[in-house]
Amino acid sequence: MSPIVPNFRKASREAVRNSQVIAAVRKTANLLSGMMALAVANTPDFEALRNYGRTRKLEISGDLEKYAQSFAANAQAAGAVVHRAKDAAEAARLAIKIAADNGAKTAVKGKSMTAEEVELNEALEAAGVTVTETDLGEFIIQLANEKPSHIMAPAIHRSRAQVAELFTDRLGTPPDLSVEALVAAARKELREKFLAADMGITGGNFAIADTGAIVLLSNEGNIRMATTLPRIQLAVVGIDKIIPEMADMPKFLALLARSAAGQTISSYLSIVTGPRRAGEEEGPEQLHIILLDNGRSRIAKGPYREILHCLHCGACLSHCPVYRAVGGHAYQAVYPGPMGSVLSPLISGLEIYADLPNACTLCGRCAEVCPVCVPLPDYLRDLRSDVNKPPLMMKMAAFGAHTPSLYRLGMIAMRQMLKKGVKGLMAPALKEWTVCREPPEPQAGESFRDWWKTRSHGQ
C-alpha cells in the first residue's frame, strides 16, 4: 500500500501550477465532452435510455448477491473458473495463484480500473510475473512509471511531445515522433508481447448474469488479442458490473459508448463466454474470472448505493470543472473526479479520503451528463456530513443565523468588519479567501433594511 496520506489541498495547489498537464487534460476533456454531446444529440431517445439504465441498475443494486451468484453459476457452466474475492488483497492472492498454478511468467493486460484497485500489477510483478500494459494510454503510463489520471483516458495528462520523449527514452525511437509514428512504434513493441504471453488479463465492462458472459469493449484491439492469444485468461470484474440479461447489454453499451467517447459502439466488442471450446483454434485453454467485492456489497446496503450503478464511462471526470483544473493525479486515488470522490472514500475509508467529498463546487455538471443518473452532487454533499466536523465558528453562527435579532447584528458586524478590517473568528476564513482574492467589498451607503424602514414610514 502506498504510504502517502492523501491531501487534496496540497496536491491540488501544486497541480494547478502545472500548466503543461492542465493544458493536456483540458484539450482532451474538451474533445471528449464535445464528442459525447454530439453523440447524445444524435440519439433521439437518450433520456429514455438513461431512465432505463437507472431503473434497471436499481433492480440490480437492490439484489447484488442474487445476480453475482447467478453470473457465477452460468459462467462456471460455460467452463470458466469463477473466484469470489472479498477484498483487494484476496483478489491479488488469487491472481498470483492462478499464474503460479499454470507456470505463467508473462502477461499482457488490457486497461482495467478494477485491476488498479487491486494493485494487480504490483502483486504479480512481486510474484515474478512480467505484466505488460497493452492499452496505449496504460502502456504510456507504465513506461513512465505513473498511475492513470482518468478512468477512460489514462494518459490524458501527457502531451504528444512528452509521450515522444518517453518513447525515445524507453524504447529508443527517434525523437519527436508524430502521433501516428508513436502508435506504430507501440504496435510493433506490443505485437511481440501478445504473441509470446502466457496470460491475458482484462477487466470487464459488463458481466451477464443469465449467460455467464464477460463483455469487453476496446477501440485498439488489445482486448481481442488478450482474450484470444494467451493460453490463460484472467478477467477481474467488480460485482457492480453484472447486468441481468444479454438483452440488457445493447442498451447499457449504447449508454457507455456514447458517454465514454461519443461512439455508438466501440471498434471492438468481445463477448466472452467460457474458454476455448472443443475443435476451436483460438481462445484460452482456461478462463478465470475474479469477482471482486471490496466493499461493494456494503455500499449496496447503504445510502450511497447508486454509485455502484456507475458504468465507469468517465464523462463526469471530463465535464468536472475541478477535475479540469487539477487533473486526475491530485485526487491521489484510483478513481478520481466526481465518481471517484464518492467511490474512493467509500471503498478505502472516509478518513483516508475525507478531502474528496469537499473537493467539489456542487456545480451539478456531473449529474447532468451521467448516463445512469447517479446523483453525484447529492452524494458528495451527504458525504460531507459523514466526514466534516462543523468548526466552532459555524456552530455559533448557526445559532445566530436563525435568531433574527442576532442575524441582523451579524450582518451589520460583517459590513463593518469588511470595511474596517477583519479580526477574530472570521480571520482564518478571510486568510484563505485572500489567497487569490481581495476581501469582499460592501457597498457604501445605507443598508437595505434601513432603506426599507425609511421607505415604509414615508408611504
Partner 1 sequence: MILNQYLAKAQGVGVHVELLSLSDLNRRLAALVGELKAKSVALPLIGWPEPLLRTVKTEVEKCGSATVSPRRRMDGSYEWNRSALGSANLGITFCGAFIAETGSLAFPSGPGLGTLASLLPETHLALSCAKDCRPDLGGYLAEFGADIPSRLTFVTGPSRTGDIEASMTTCVHGPGRVLHWIITGDFS
Partner 2 sequence: MNMPTTRRVSLFLTCGADALYPSVGRASVRVLESYGVDVDFPEEQTCCGQPWLNTGDAKSARIMALHFLKVFERSEAIVAPSSSCVDTVRNRYWPLFKGEPKLQDRFRKLASKTYEICEYMHRILDIPGLPPHPEPARTTYHSSCRTLRGIGLRGVAENYLKQMLGDHFVPLPDADACCGFGGSFSVKFPEVSGKMMEDKLGNIVLTGASTVAALDMSCLTHLSAGARRQNLGRLRFVHLAELMMEALEGKTR
Residues making contact with partner 2 (CB under 8 A) = 8-9, 12-13, 16, 22, 321-322, 325-326, 357-365, 367-368, 381-388, 390, 394-395, 397-398, 401-404, 407, 411, 414-415, 418, 429, 432-443, 445-449, 451-452
Q: Which is nearer to partner 2, 221 or 439 (CB)?
A: 439
Q: Which amino acid type is present at position 82? A: V
d(CA 248, CA 210): 11
Among 107, 124, 190, 308, binds partner 1 (CB under 8 A): 190
d(CA 371, CA 139): 28
Contact 369, 375 (CB under 8 A): no
Residue 372's Cβ-side half-sphere holds a number of Cα atoms within 13 Å equal to 28
Could you tell me which stretch among 2-10, 88-96, 134-142, 427-435 binds partner 1 (CB under 8 A)? 134-142
Of these partners, partner 1, partner 2, none, which one is at the site of residue 446 (CB under 5 to 8 Å by kind)?
partner 2
Q: Which of residues 343-402 bind partner 1 (CB under 8 A)?
A: none
Q: Which of residues 82-121 bind partner 1 (CB under 8 A)?
A: none
Q: Which is nearer to partner 1, 305 or 329 (CB)?
A: 329
- Other CB atoms within 10 A of residue 1 CB: 8
d(CA 35, CA 253): 16
Of these partners, partner 2, partner 1, none, which one is at the site of residue 418 (CB under 5 to 8 Å by kind)?
partner 2
Find the length of the chain.
459
d(CA 182, CA 184): 5
Per DSSP, the residues of 308-323 read GG-----HHHHH-HHH
Position 183 contacts partner 1 (CB under 8 A): yes
d(CA 326, CA 321): 9
Sheet holding 232-238, edge to edge: 81-85, 286-292, 232-238, 199-202, 106-109, 130-133
Q: Which of residues 274-303 bind partner 1 (CB under 8 A)?
A: 274-283
> Minimum distance from CB of 77 to partner 1 (Å)?
10
Question: Which residues bind to partner 1, rule: CB under 8 A?
Answer: 24, 27-28, 31-32, 78-79, 134-137, 140, 153-155, 158-160, 163, 179-180, 182-184, 186-187, 190-191, 194-195, 211, 213, 219-222, 224-225, 227-229, 246-247, 249-251, 253, 261, 264-283
